[in-house]
A = this chain, B = another copy of it.
Amino acid sequence: MERVINENAPRGHYTPGMISGNTLYISGQTSADPSTGLPAEGGFEAEMQMALDKMDSVLRAAGCGRDSVVMCQIYLTTMDHWDAANRVYERFFGDHRPARIVLPVGPLSKGCQVELTAVAEVAP
């Protein structure tokens, strides 16, 4: 088991990423801007981009690329954002299409409108 630490200090008792075998588990990444602690400004698409960028940061810290992601779980406060979420997500991943689930949950911390986790494959 190996801890993966990126530049964003966790608030709470967790590690940004954990590797077990060839699998990287990424902790929940909200749309909160690490520099302010508040949701990224600019509306939902900016929030979605922020959550993905924070996930990307954990991937890089583990030596993984975006095309290492095997499964991604996306949690929205309302499915009304599904189209916008999918649009930003598609731009982020390009030709790579991980397995995925998009689910509506309750109000997220600090008013964030999206949080996501992912499982990625680490080269042996």
Chain A residues proximal to chain B, CB less than 8 Å: 1, 3, 10, 12-18, 20-23, 25-28, 68, 70-72, 75, 77-79, 82, 86, 89-90, 93, 97-109, 115, 117, 119, 121
Report the separation of the CA atoms of residues A17 and B92 in the bound assembly, to the nearest whole angstrom. 19
Contact B79 A107 (CB under 8 A): yes
Given A21-B121, A71-B25: A12 in contact with B100 (beta carbons within 8 A): yes
When distances are taken between beta carbons in the complex, the residues of chain B under 8 Å from A75 are 103
A70 / chain B contacts, CB cutoff of 8 Å:
1, 18, 20, 25
Q: Smallest distance from the beta carbon of A116 to chain B beta carbons, Å?
A: 9
Give the nearest-CB partner of A102 in chain B.
B28
